[in-house]
Amino acid sequence: TDFQTLKSQSEAELISKLESKTKGLEKIMVENERLRKEIKREMGAAEKLRVAKTSLEVTNEKLEAELEETKQRLREALSKPVTGGTDKAWKASVVTRMFENKMKELEKELSLKTSSLSELKLQLKEAKEREERAEMLVRQREDQVDVLKRFPALKADAGASGGVQTTTRLKSAEPDGETASSSDYRKVNTLLQAAETEKSSLQAEVRRLKKELESFDPTLLDELEDLKYNYNLEVKKNILLEEQLKKVCDQFGVQAEMPSVSVS
């Protein structure tokens, strides 16, 4: 009958939408795994920078202490009176030049170490900024995952218009003064419950994905902007779809709540 045909079409559409949503989540899982490995390498590099920074700071402290000690020795050597003729004067001159050369070497080395330390601090600052951007992307990605869980994906705009036509045909196919059999009611209700069960299962998968998320590559910004735009379109489509399904339930006297998922 027309009713059975239309009901089969509706079931096929629901199954197709669930499959589309599942594929979308699988794609996100693969991308998340790639990003997790990439960010892990980035975090390892940042840790090495921190260790190098600490080592340089310790080295700088030692060099500063050694430089100060050398200056003090030079001051003491210069303050001592030179007596005993030319030999002592020559020795004092040699000592002075040795200390001066040592001071210059230490100052040069200290300057190089200070420059390296400044560069490391800059690199650490950049790494911190990348981590903060990654954390922001994590929150955005979590929101996108929740969106995919809350609203089943549709194939195209035609899917929404097709749903309207299906509802219209269902109304026209309804026998005057009669309702579908209780068996048909149970089938429709079972279909809705199956969809809710599938959504609950996907919700559990999303929660697992949230625990695995650490950070993301900033190159995902453009992709996330596209996802936000597509999300706004899908919201409108799914609102229309839910209204149509509610009308079908009311039309055939099925008392079933629409499956829903809260965004947390």
* pLDDT score at 115: 73
* pLDDT score at 231: 56
Contacts of 235 (CB under 8 A, 6+ apart): 151
Q: What letter does residue 57 receive in the DSSP assignment?
A: H
Q: What angle do CA 249, 23, 160 make, to 5 degrees?
A: 40
In order of 91, 101, 207, 218, the CA distances from 134 in angstroms are 64, 49, 19, 7
* pLDDT score at 46: 77
* pLDDT score at 235: 59
Residue segments in the chain with a per-residue pLDDT below the cut of 70: 1, 77-78, 80-103, 106-107, 110, 113-114, 116-118, 120-121, 123-124, 127-128, 130-135, 137-264
* pLDDT score at 9: 81
Q: Residue 203 and residue 259: Cα distance in Å, rounded?
A: 12
